[in-house]
Amino acid sequence: MTEPSDFIRDMIGADVAAGLHDGRVCTRFPPEPNGYLHIGHAKSIHLNFGIAKQFGGVCHLRMDDTNPTTEDPEYVAAIQRDVRWLGFEWGQNMFYASDYYERLYELAEGLIQKGRAYVCDLTEADMGEYRGKVGEPGKESPYRNRSVEENLDRFRRMRKGEFKEGSCTLRAKIDMASPNMKMRDPPLYRIKHAHHYRTGDAWCIYPLYDYAHCLSDSFEKITHSLCTMEFESARELYDWVVAATEVPHVPRQTEFARLNLSYTVMSKRRLLELVEKKLVRGWDDPRMPTIAGLRRRGVTREAIAEFCSRIGVAKNLSIVDMALLEHVIREDLNQRSPRVMAVLKPIEVLIENYPEGEVEQLDAPYWPHDVPKEGSRKVPFSRTIYVDRDDFLENPPKDFHRLSPGKRVRLRHAYVVTCKEVIKDANGDLARLVCTYDPATRGGSAPAGEKVAGTIQWVSAAHALDAEVRIYDRLCRVESPGDGGRDFLEDLNPDSLSVVQAKVEPSLSSAAEGQHYQFERVGFFFVDPDTRPGAPVFNRTVALKDGWAKLVGKSEPVKAEAKPREAKAAAPKGDAKELTPAAKALAEQHALSADEARVISSEPALAALFEGALAAGAAAKPIASLLANDVVRELRARRLEKAPFDGAALGELPPLVASGTLSTKLAKEVLAEMFVRGARPAEIVKEKGLSQVSDAGAVEAAVAQVLADNPDTVARYKAGNANVVGALVGMVIKSLQGRANPKVVNEILKKQLG
């Protein structure tokens, strides 16, 4: 499969073409072995291994194991199994950050010798205090100017174990006034008197991520270090460490948006909590978004690959709809799952005119017409069968095409039957049904002139197998679990698993672990490893009903990027009546929508920004919309509790859009940059030259160029095809790197086209 390109592949393609690193491409996938991999990791694995393959390079598998207290060899083994299962091979290139401890230590001594690192005795709390606030410089540590000798001596004693945990750290000596908080003398080493799963008790100081990661990349001669957006502000430090240590190989970090999926949770901390509190059966519980869980549920590696390809790779933050994943799974299973019959809620049906003791073996193809596969099995038919309780209604509505008194229905692959009698038990509950069958309809054909609208599945009572069927549903009952400060455990779906004892057709006696089936009219099922001879266990991978296709219209295959379902503003929907008093007051006072008021009032960080912006004279409405949509999304995606800028700075953004200086798209870029650097919008616009090209001269030149380059398109326009204007506008905007105001371009274009 060739991957569609994306900004990272484009960048690497250009690097290769330019001969960077002699055209060599080396990526890495660097999990910390503190949990199982999840579908978000699959996105990163597909990206890193996929790029290595595409460019004839290699991808390393590296355990980013620098935290002794959370890591475990069980996780290493699980990670390796999952990466292999996804279809990727690292060959000789398995690495451990813990193998670099000695080299990392030596480079740290080197930094001390160069006067670029020092041992600091501030407590963690004091260090936080000294770091200062965004927009205000921090204070220098009183230990910052220790001599090289003293620092070396102390660092060596740290290593020897002479100090207590938390009593000191090794810090980089950079700049306590840097606008990037990450650069305010970040810690590089901390003391941990803990046993490490690989290095045992050899060390009691451990390097921090920002120090160990970039150097590991350098040691392994990684060319492109791809990570998720939350590391964007750490890039400056990444580059600083590589430069300051003077390691010969310089890798480059590029960030992309992490995958977020609705109706589930994806942080390893939360997944671990589910496992430890036994809210699921383990890391491979089919409700978990882990690779192991998806595998056990019956999701194939091909479906995961297809999903990763459809969601694409970009920088903008969004939540992918779970319905898209389910849709892709269904498409994949449709082609590989033979159709069989199972009755999940059995109710007995006596076919009173069918000869007692007789058994017919009916031929039943495994595949529907639209799957180009052959094969069939025999299903036994007899006088007593089971059908699903839900396929019978005593008083049906008009469009109910299943069983009801006096009505005819087709039994799949068998006969048309008529419901004659309903037998109840002492409580008045349905006990069984009595039907007659029509011998002329063998195989399911209706008699000439008659239309039998409904077809239902069934199994012969005497021949059916008992099976345990585990019906899995989504892990969480809301789109964004844990939103608005709730404990995500409150959002777990209480009905995420129901177990039923089903009756299934006898051909399933040969069902072996790992096989996929479609239970007709029910869903796709997968044989669970708990299956024992004569006691099959099936997991529902996914139901048949496709929520995604309904959502986007069935006609065309869907690209997730084409229809992003953006992270919804926080809380569940509802009208103003359900607002908290604080939200209600906010909505009324500033004429905000209920959703805006709810989101802003639910997070103190947002409320503070709102107030700050108003105090600085900003208009309430645009700020509220910015906060409730974009700011909240950035905060979540970056896992921040608080934005690194104040309300006054945020208040400068909407006027830049209103005046036409920024398009809404550029405004989003500026906002993202504000999150990275904590700078004010105007500074960012100026520095990055981000403002729209509204200078008519520049646009005129660009339009003229595009028209000159595309004589065919111009000819089509002149021949009366006005539709091509859109395409031309697009070309002009692209030639101006997206920085042109479409309205201005349109006007100038029309003028030049005459």
Give contact residues for ligand ATP (rule: CB under 6 A): 30-32, 40-41, 43-44, 64, 227-228, 258-259, 266-268
Tokens 């048309």 — which residue? Answer: 416
- CA 593 to CA 7: how far, in whole Å? 36
The distance of closest approach from Cβ of residue 64 to ligand ATP in the complex, given in angstroms and rounded to an integer, is 6
Strands 169-172 and 187-191: antiparallel
Please identify, using beta-carbon distances, which residue of 31 and 179 lies nearer to ligand ATP: 31
HSE-CB at 534 with a 13 A cutoff on CA atoms is 0
Distance, in Å, from the CA atom of 369 to the CA atom of 405, rounded to the nearest integer, reads 32
- Which of 196, 503 has the CB closer to ligand ATP? 196
Any residues with CB less than 8 A from the CB of 578 and at least 6 apart, and which?
Answer: none
- What 3-state DSSP class applies to 199? coil
Beta carbon nearer to ligand ATP, 90 or 717: 90
Q: Which of 28, 32, 297, 568 is catalytic?
A: 32
> Six-digit token pair at 614?
């108003």
Shortest distance in whole angstroms from residue 286 CB to ligand ATP: 19
Distance CA 461, CA 387 (A): 10
User: Residue 406: CB partners within 8 Å, gap ≥ 6?
Assistant: 418, 419, 420
Dig out the tokens for 457 from the structure: 């599945």
* Least Å from the CB of residue 221 to ligand ATP: 18
Q: 265 vs 452, which CB is nearer to ligand ATP?
A: 265
141-150: Cβ within 8 A, 24+ apart: 141/171, 141/185, 143/118, 143/119, 144/118, 144/120, 144/173, 144/185, 145/118, 146/118, 146/119, 148/112, 148/113, 148/115, 150/119
Of 239 and 273, the one with the shorter C-beta distance to ligand ATP is 273
Residue closer to ligand ATP, measured from CB, 261 or 656: 261
Active site residue 32: yes
Tokens 């209600």 identify what position?
Answer: 584
Nearer Cβ to ligand ATP, position 80 or 228? Answer: 228
Residue among 131, 190, 258, 677 flagged as catalytic:
258
Q: Degrees (nearest 5) of the Cα angle 737, 743, 745? A: 50
Distance between CA atoms of residues 265 and 469, nearest Å: 25
Separation CA 206–CA 183 (nearest Å): 20
Our answer to whether residue 258 is catalytic in this structure is: yes
Q: Which structure tokens are listed for 415?
A: 């006969």
Among candidate residues 28, 131, 159, 268, the one labeled active-site is 268
The string of DSSP codes covering 540-581 is EEEES--HHHHHH-SSSPPPTTTS--PPPPSSPP--GGG--H
> Three-class SS of residue 293?
helix
Least Å distance, CB 417 to ligand ATP, is 51
Task: From 385, 400, 509, 526, select the one nearest 454 (Cα to Cα).
Answer: 400
Contact 507, 352 (CB under 8 A): no
Please give the Cα distance from 441 to 475 (Å, whole number): 44
Q: How far is the CB of 258 from ligand ATP (least distance, A)?
A: 3
Respond yes or no: is residue 559 known to be catalytic.
Answer: no
Least Å distance between CB 23 and ligand ATP?
A: 24
How far is CA 178 from its chain centroid? Answer: 33
Give CA–CA dist 606/625, Å, rounded: 11
C-beta closer to ligand ATP: residue 33 or 647: 33
Q: Smallest distance, Å, CB 229 to ligand ATP? A: 9
Return the residue matching tokens 């953004």.
Answer: 653
Closest residue to ligand ATP: CB criterion: 40
The DSSP symbol for 192 reads -
CA atoms 741, 746, 747, 751: torsion sign: positive
Nearer to ligand ATP, 78 or 191 (CB): 78
Strand segments (E) across 157-207: 169-172, 187-191, 205-207
Q: How far is the CB of 30 from ligand ATP (least distance, A)?
A: 5
Residue 257 CB, nearest approach to ligand ATP (Å): 8
Cβ atoms of residues 161 and 204 within 8 Å: yes
Nearer to ligand ATP, 231 or 472 (CB): 231
* Distance between CA atoms of residues 18 and 711, nearest Å: 31
> How near is the Cβ of 214 to ligand ATP at its closest, in Å?
13
Beta bridge partners of 433: 349, 422
Are 687 and 243 contacting, i.e. CB atoms less than 8 angstroms apart? no
Structure tokens that stand for 610 in this block: 């709102």
DSSP code string of 625-673:
HIIIIIIHHHHHHTT-SS-SS-HHHHHTHHHHHHTTSS-HHHHHHHHHH
Contact 338, 280 (CB under 8 A): no
Q: Output 151 or 264, the one with its CB closest to ligand ATP.
A: 264
Q: List alpha helices for 115-182, DSSP H.
A: 124-131, 148-160
Instruction: Give whichever of 30 and 681 is closer to ligand ATP, judged by the CB atom.
Output: 30
- Using the minimum distance from each CB to ligand ATP, give the nearer residue, 30 or 612: 30
Identify whether the C-beta of residue 466 lies closer than 8 Å to the C-beta of residue 500.
no
Find the shortest distance in angstroms from Cβ 213 to ligand ATP. 9
Catalytic residues: 32, 258, 268
